[in-house]
Amino acid sequence: MPESFRIVLRQYLQHPEVKSLASNGTVCTGDTVGLLRRSSILARDIVPIGKETDRHWEQGEDPSLIDFEVPELRRKKRMVVADISERKRWREAGVRNCQRKSGLSINTVRDILSGNEVKLTTLEIFVRAMDGPEAY
């Protein structure tokens, strides 16, 4: 259905800014006014992707090529780092308490709480011990 310029402009003006926060730190809505703040993003995992694409769909060929999957160039490593907010919460419980609950060595618990890389299976054991079996 064709839209008039007035409709398009109204939708644009009421569109929330998803990359910013309102001046009071809340999520922007279509009615947010004033100076916007930057929102911070915490990346859990950085995954390089391939930038190649098939351009045949631009010439009107096979439209199914639009729904292609981006190739991930993820390294095959099994080392992970615990989330910073979870580490802070676990540190409040105490290193010795975390060590007793998880059954892991004190050095492994310190590595997890310090943000060092540990094996994925080790972190899974730790999270289940600290937050319950449904946590991971």
pLDDT tens string 71-118:
665 665 678 888 888 899 999 999 999 999 999 999 999 999 999 989
Residues 65 and 57 sit within 8 Å (Cβ to Cβ):
yes
Across all residues in the chain, what is the average pLDDT? 79
With residue 52 as reference, give the H or E element that holds it. none
pLDDT at position 111: 94
Contact 81, 102 (CB under 8 A): no
